């Protein structure tokens, strides 16, 4: 009987081991299915990200092209305005030189007037005397 008991005990132990292995396999299968779904979701997400990155790359390329065009346009316009400002600068120098010349002429006129003042005063007195004589002469006629 002891032999039958041991055999029955071995059968029960094998049955328990088989049930435990079955439970383990079921949980492993569920876990692997869950991991599979998660990896599928990750794959789908990465595909979406890849498409978005392609769109971003295209938009970035277009933006870079527009930026380069604007930089060239600004550079060209800056060069044109530089010529304009150089011309204005030349006009400013010319006006300054003309102003300086007028100041020198004014000083010379003042100096000449100061030197010739007594003679001019004398000439005016003679002129007034001549006009007075002329009026007197005309008045007698």
Going by the DSSP 8-state scheme, the letter that residue 1 receives in this structure is -
pLDDT, tens digit, 9 for 90 and up, residues 50-66: 988 988 888 889 999 99
pLDDT, tens digit, 9 for 90 and up, residues 61-84: 999 999 999 999 998 888 888 877
Round to whole Å and give the CA distance between 76 and 73. 5
The whole-number average pLDDT for the span 32-56 is 93
Round to whole Å and give the CA distance between 65 and 71. 10
Lowest mean pLDDT among 38-47, 71-80, 113-122, 131-140: 113-122
If one compares 138 and 51, the residue with the highest pLDDT of the two is 51
Going by the DSSP 8-state scheme, the letter that residue 22 receives in this structure is H
The mean pLDDT of the chain is 86
Q: What is residue 141's three-state secondary structure?
A: coil
Check residue 47 and give its pLDDT.
Answer: 92
The model carries a pTM of: 0.41
Going by the DSSP 8-state scheme, the letter that residue 70 receives in this structure is H
Round to whole Å and give the CA distance between 108 and 56. 76
Round to whole Å and give the CA distance between 141 and 9. 176
């Amino acid at each position: 009987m002891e032999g039958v008991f041991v055999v029955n005990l071995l059968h029960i132990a094998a049955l328990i081991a088989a049930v435990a292995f079955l439970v383990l396999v079921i949980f492993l299968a569920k876990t692997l299915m869950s991991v599979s779904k998660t990896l599928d979701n990750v794959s789908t997400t990465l595909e979406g990200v890849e498409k978005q990155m392609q769109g971003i790359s295209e938009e970035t390329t277009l933006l870079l092209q527009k930026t380069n065009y604007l930089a060239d346009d600004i550079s060209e316009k800056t060069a044109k305005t530089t010529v304009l400002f150089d011309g204005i600068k030349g006009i400013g120098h010319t006006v300054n030189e003309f102003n300086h010349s007028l100041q020198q002429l004014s000083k010379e006129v003042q100096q000449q007037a100061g030197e010739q003042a007594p003679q001019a005063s004398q000439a005016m007195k003679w002129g007034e005397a001549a006009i007075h004589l002329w009026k007197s002469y005309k008045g007698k006629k």
